[in-house]
Structures are given as C-alpha cells and as structure tokens.
C-alpha cells in the first residue's frame, strides 16, 4: 500500500519510503495418531504383554490397567489376557506441534 493505493513492486519509484509490519502468531496443538494393531498374545505378566504381530515379530507393551484390548469382540484388560489369545488394540500417539504464521504488510509513501 503506497499512499493508500495497492501497487506492485514494478510500480514503485526510486525514493519510495517503505515500512514493513510483520505479525507473527504461534499456535500450539497436540497431534494425535491412531493406529489399530492385532496379533496373538505370546506372554503376559502384570502390565506387560508380548504380542506376536502378523509379520511374525514380537513386541512388548506396557499398558495401564484401565486400557482395554479387543478379544473376539469383547473388551479385556491386560490382567484378563492369556497366551494364545488373538487381540486387537488401538495405539494413540500424541505429539505437541507448533504452527507459526507470519503476515507481512508493507506500506509506504512516494516522493
């Protein structure tokens, strides 16, 4: 904006005085990723369970007592799991993200 008119860079004349105002805003949020996995219980002890995944790999998970697995359409706590049970579960991973937005307004006056 030069003298109240919107001009392109090519329309500027030498000696034009410019002022830039930069407004930066930062927004913090939590990004959640949900995946559903399944496998067969290989070992369970306390709040730890080792599950054999469909690709044959074993993974150990430590789960909270309030978490529920899906076993044949029924909800089950980690204490109810037994070796050989086919289970599926949702895994939710939360990560903080920060979005930064800048808005630049250039104004000026011509000679």
Query: What span, in angstroms and rounded, lies between the C-alpha atoms of 77 and 67?
Result: 6
Whether residue 75 is predicted with pLDDT greater than 90 in this model: the reply is yes
Strand-by-strand arrangement of the 69-71 sheet: 58-62, 48-52, 17-45, 86-109, 69-71, 74-76
Burial class of residue 36 (count of CB atoms within 10 Å of its CB; 0-12, 13-18, 19+): exposed
pLDDT one-digit tens code per residue, 80-99: 999 999 999 888 888 999 99
Domain boundaries, the chain: 9-29+98-109, 31-96
pLDDT one-digit tens code per residue, 7-61: 888 888 888 888 889 999 999 999 988 777 899 999 999 999 999 999 999 999 9
């Amino acid at each position: 904006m030069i003298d109240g008119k919107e001009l392109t860079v090519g329309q500027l004349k030498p000696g034009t005085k410019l002022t830039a105002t930069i407004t930066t805003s930062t927004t913090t949020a939590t990004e959640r990723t949900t995946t559903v996995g399944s496998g067969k219980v290989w070992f369970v002890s306390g709040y730890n369970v080792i599950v054999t995944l469909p690709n044959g790999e074993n993974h150990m998970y430590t789960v909270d007592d309030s978490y529920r697995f899906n076993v044949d359409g029924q909800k089950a706590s980690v204490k109810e799991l037994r070796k050989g049970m086919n289970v599926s579960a949702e895994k939710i991973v939360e990560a903080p993200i920060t979005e930064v937005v800048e808005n630049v307004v250039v104004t000026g006056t011509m000679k």
